[in-house]
Amino acid sequence: MTMNILRLSTDLQSELIKNLAGQADLTQQSNYLVKMLDSIVAKASEVLKADACSIYLIDNHMSEHSGERQATMRAAKGYQEIAVDKAICRVLPAEEIPRYSKLGLTRWVISTGRSF
């Protein structure tokens, strides 16, 4: 199963890079990215037999309210679908991570950039 997931991940990354590079304008790239993220969560939840799956992307801009980096849920499957473009997670600086005993898996992965 691990090899299937790695192969799927590599194939999806390759497809994403090729297709984004071939898009002429930002609107086309944005539309393609949304479709690709939806495809990724669908395939990931199918392969993992998960009831729910989501993808957060770290935003390029700082939060208007706090001035901190944040990530926004951009694609989801299952019960999390209603939170797409609404769920926001603060990205913690590396030095702040040890202070939080209840960080949560999503924020830990987003903040460290490491898988669990």
Handedness of CA 11, 69, 91, 102 (dihedral sign): negative
Number of domains in the chain: 2
Question: 57 and 46 in one domain?
Answer: no
Q: For 90-104, write each residue's pLDDT tens digit.
A: 888 878 887 777 778
Q: For 11-39, write each residue's pLDDT tens digit.
A: 766 766 666 566 566 677 678 888 889 98
pTM summary value: 0.74
Pairwise CA distance, residues 32 & 79, whole Å: 23
What is the residue range of 15's domain? 1-50
Question: 73 and 32 in one domain?
Answer: no
Q: Please give the structure tokens belonging to residue 13.
A: 């990354």
Question: 113 and 61 in one domain?
Answer: yes
Question: 106 and 61 in one domain?
Answer: yes
Question: 100 and 74 in one domain?
Answer: yes
Question: 111 and 63 in one domain?
Answer: yes
Q: What DSSP element (H or E) covers 37?
A: helix 26-48
